Amino acid sequence: MCNLAVYYRDGVETEKNFEKAFYWYQKAAENDHIIAMFNLANYYYNGKGIEKNFEKAFHWYQKAAEKGQIDAMYNLVAYYKNGEKNLEKAFYWCQKAAEKEKNFEKAFYWYQKAAEKDHIIAMFNLANYYYNGKGTEKNFKKAFHWYQKAAEKGQIDAMCNLMAYYGNGEETEKNFEKAFYWCQKAAEKGHIDAIFNLAACYRNGEGTEKDFEKAFYWCQKAAEKDHIIAMFNLANHYYNGVGTEKNFEKAFHWCQKAAEKGQIDAMCNLVAYYRNGEETEKNLEKAFYWCQKAGENGQIDAVYNLANYYYNGVGTEKNFEKAFHWYQKAAEKDHTIAMFNLANHYYNGEGIEKNFEKAFHWWQKAAEKGQIDAMYNLAVYYRNGKGTENNFEKAFYWYQKAAEKGQIDAMYNLAVYYRNGEGTEKNLEKAFHWYQKASENNHIIAMFNLANHYFNGKGTAKNFERAFYWYQKAAEKGQIDAMCNLVAYYKNGVETEKNFEKAFYWCKKAAENDHINAMLYLSACYRNGEGIEKDFKKAYYWCQKAAEKGQIDAMYNLAVYYRNGEETEKNFEKAFYWCQKAAEKGQIDAMYILAIYYRNGEETEKNLLFRKITIVFRRLFLV
C-alpha cells in the first residue's frame, strides 16, 4: 500500500495523483505502517491530496513518533515548542529522537535549551553530557554547575553526583560536610545508593560525627530496599553488635539474603556459619556449597578454601584433581599458601603427575612472597639438587630467610650449615645461636646439639649445668641420644647428684626406643642391680635384643650366656655363633676366643673357651 502511494506521489508508471497517494498512505497507516503514518501526517499538515488539518497531522505525527519514527519526533518537538508552548513535552520528544538516532550534538543542544528554561531532568542530563564529553567537549566545571543547579531543584541523582564531587574534590575543594549534606538530602528522598552511603558516613564519621546507631538505621533502610552490600553490612552490625544489640540469628538472616543476591563476602561468611554451626546447624555440605559459589565468583580466599575442601573431603568427596585445579587457580591469582600447596601437589603427584621442576617453581614463587615453609622447602631442594642444580649457597640463603621468619626446622639446619661451613664460612658462635633459637622453639635435635655445644664449649663457654639442662629437655621430648647422655650424668654425678635409679630410668627409656648401647647397659644394670633389683632373666633379654640389633659387645656377652647356660640352656653352637658374629664385627675378645677355638678344635674349646669367656665376662660386667 505504501509503495503504491509512493508511485502516485512521484508519478512512477502513472500520472502524479496526490489524492490517490493520500488514500493509500491512509490505508497503510491504518495498518500500522510507520513511514505511511509520518507521510500521512505530512499530507494533512501541507494539504496535499486533502484539506489542511493540523489536528490530524498532529495525531499521525504522534502515532508515528510513538512507533519510533525520528522525524515525527522532531516535528512533535517543534509543535510543542512553538505551538502549545509545552517545553516539557518538547524536551521529552527531543530526548527520544536524540536517543533514537544517537545524535549527541542534537541531544546536547536541546538539553541545553531545556535546562536554561529550568527543566530539572534536562539540567541533570546536560551535566552528564559535559561530564562525559557527549555532544560537546568535556567540561567538569560546567558539569558541576548543572549538577548543582539540578540538585538545588530536587533532582536526586544530581544530589548523589554532587556528593561525589565534594567527597573527591572534583572541580571544587574537598568538603566532606557538603558531601554528607547532599548524601543526606538524596537519602531522605529515597535514593538507595545515597541511603547506603549515608550509613557509611555515620559509621566512619565522614562529614558528620560518628554515630553507629544512625549508621545501623540507614544501613537497615538500604538493606530493606535490596541493596546487596547494605545487607552484608547489616549482617555485620548484628554480628558485632554495632549500633544495635548483638543478634546472631539476624546476622545469619541478612548474610544469607546478601549471599543469595550474589554478595561474595556474604557467601564466605555463610561458609563459616555452616562450618562452625553458628546460629544454624553445622552443615559441611552447605559450607562447601557456598564456598564453591564464592570460589566460582573469583573470591580468592574461597578459591583457596575450595581446594582445601576437595583435598580433605570436607562437605564433598575427596578429589585431588579438583583440589589441584583450585589450588592452581588461587596460585595464579597470587595466593601465597595456594602456591605452596600447589607445589606440594606437584612434589607428591597428587591430582597431577609428579613434577619436581614445577614443584620447585611454585615453592620459589611462594618463598619470594614470604611463605616460610616454601622457603624451607626451597632450601632443601637446593641442598639435594632436586628440581634444580645442587647449590649450598642458595640452600643457606633460604634456610636463613626462613629461620629469620621463625621457621623452626630452618633454624636447626642453619645452625648445621654454620657448624659445618656449608654454603657459608664455619661459625660456631652462629651455629650455637641458631641451635639455641631452634631449641627455644622446641626443636628436639637442636636441644641435643645445644647441650653438646655447652658440654664441649663450642661457640660458647663450657657449661655442664646448661648442657645437663638441655639434655634433660631433649630427653623428655624423646631424643634418644640425650637419654643416654643423661644416664652418664646421673651415673657419674656430673652437675647433679649420683642417682642410679634415674640413670636406670633413662637407660630403659633409651633401650625401649631401640638404642642398642642403652640395651647393653640396661642388661648390665639388671645383672649388677644398678638402680634396680638384680634380674638375670631381663639381663639376658636385653643382651639378646642388643645383639640382634648388631651391638658387638652384646653379641660377645650373649655368647657367654649360652656357654655358661645363664638364664638359658647351655648351647655351645649358639655360643660359637655369637662369638663368631662379634669377632667378624671387630670385637677383640671375641676374636681372641674364636682363634683359640679354631686352634684347639672342639675338644679344647670346652676348656679354654670356657675359662677365657668367664674371665672376660667377669671383667666386663664387674667394671
Q: DSSP readout, 234-288? A: HHHHHHHTSSS---HHHHHHHHHHHHHTT-HHHHHHHHHHHHHTSSS---HHHHH
pLDDT, mean of residues 488-514: 92
Contact 218, 249 (CB under 8 A): no
pLDDT above 90 covers a percentage of the chain that reads: 67
Question: Residue 389: left (phi > 0), alpha (psi -120 to 50), or beta?
Answer: beta
pLDDT score, position 90:
65
Q: Which among 231, 243, 242 has a CA at the least distance from the CA of 269?
A: 231
Contact 244, 251 (CB under 8 A): no
| Residue 10 clears pLDDT 60, i.e. is over it | yes
Contact 70, 97 (CB under 8 A): yes
pLDDT, mean of residues 372-380: 95
pLDDT, mean of residues 428-438: 97
pLDDT above 70 covers a percentage of the chain that reads: 89
Candidate from 117-121, 412-416, 501-505, 543-547 with smallest mean pLDDT: 117-121
State the pLDDT confidence band at 602, using cuts at 50, 70 and 90: very low
Higher pLDDT, 29 or 93: 29
Furthest-apart CA atoms within the chain: distance in Å: 155
User: CA of 99: how far to CAs of 70, 104, 134, 269, in Å?
Assistant: 9, 8, 12, 44
User: CA of 220: how far to CAs of 84, 160, 231, 246, 541, in Å?
Assistant: 47, 19, 8, 15, 79
Candidate from 40-49, 165-174, 300-309 with smallest mean pLDDT: 40-49
17: which residues sit within 8 A by CB, 6+ positions away?
8, 49
First to last CA, the chain: 131
Contact 189, 182 (CB under 8 A): no
| Residue 603 clears pLDDT 60, i.e. is over it | no
pLDDT score, position 86:
65
Q: Identify the sign of the CA torsion 553, 554, 559, 563.
A: positive
What is the per-residue pLDDT across 220-256, written as a single tens digit (0 to 9) for each? Answer: 999 999 999 999 999 999 999 999 999 999 999 999 9
| Residue 56 clears pLDDT 90, i.e. is over it | no
Contact 237, 216 (CB under 8 A): yes
State the pLDDT confidence band at 119, using cuts at 50, 70 and 90: confident
- Based on its alpha-carbon atoms, the radius of gyration of the chain, rounded to whole angstroms, reads 47
The distance from CA 498 to its chain's CA centroid, rounded to whole angstroms, is: 55
Arithmetic mean of pLDDT over the chain: 88
Distance CA 110, CA 202 (A): 40
pLDDT score, position 178:
93
Distance CA 394, CA 381 (A): 10
Distance CA 526, CA 531 (A): 8
Candidate from 324-328, 492-496, 574-578 with smallest mean pLDDT: 492-496
Q: DSSP readout, 341-404? A: HHHHHHHHTSSS---HHHHHHHHHHHHHTT-HHHHHHHHHHHHHTSSS---HHHHHHHHHHHHH
Contact 170, 143 (CB under 8 A): no
Higher pLDDT, 387 or 335: 335
- DSSP code, position 81: I
State the pLDDT confidence band at 160, using cuts at 50, 70 and 90: very high
Residue indicated by cell numbers 677383640: 588
20: which residues sit within 8 A by CB, 6+ positions away?
5, 8, 49
Q: In the chain, helix, strand, coil percent, each to 5?
A: 75, 0, 25
Q: DSSP readout, 175-197? A: -HHHHHHHHHHHHHTT-HHHHHH
6: which residues sit within 8 A by CB, 6+ positions away?
12, 21
Distance CA 351, CA 362 (A): 16
pLDDT score, position 604:
40
State the pLDDT confidence band at 80, using cuts at 50, 70 and 90: low
User: CA of 541: how far to CAs of 69, 143, 410, 538, in Å?
Assistant: 109, 98, 41, 5
570: which residues sit within 8 A by CB, 6+ positions away?
562, 563, 564
State the pLDDT confidence band at 41, using cuts at 50, 70 and 90: confident
Higher pLDDT, 274 or 101: 274
pLDDT, mean of residues 538-551: 95
Contact 437, 444 (CB under 8 A): no
What is the per-residue pLDDT across 607-622, written as a single tens digit (0 to 9) for each? Answer: 445 555 555 545 544 4
pLDDT, mean of residues 18-46: 78
- DSSP code, position 460: S
Contact 590, 583 (CB under 8 A): yes
Contact 230, 223 (CB under 8 A): yes
pLDDT, mean of residues 521-549: 94
pLDDT score, position 278:
77
What is this structure's pTM? 0.69
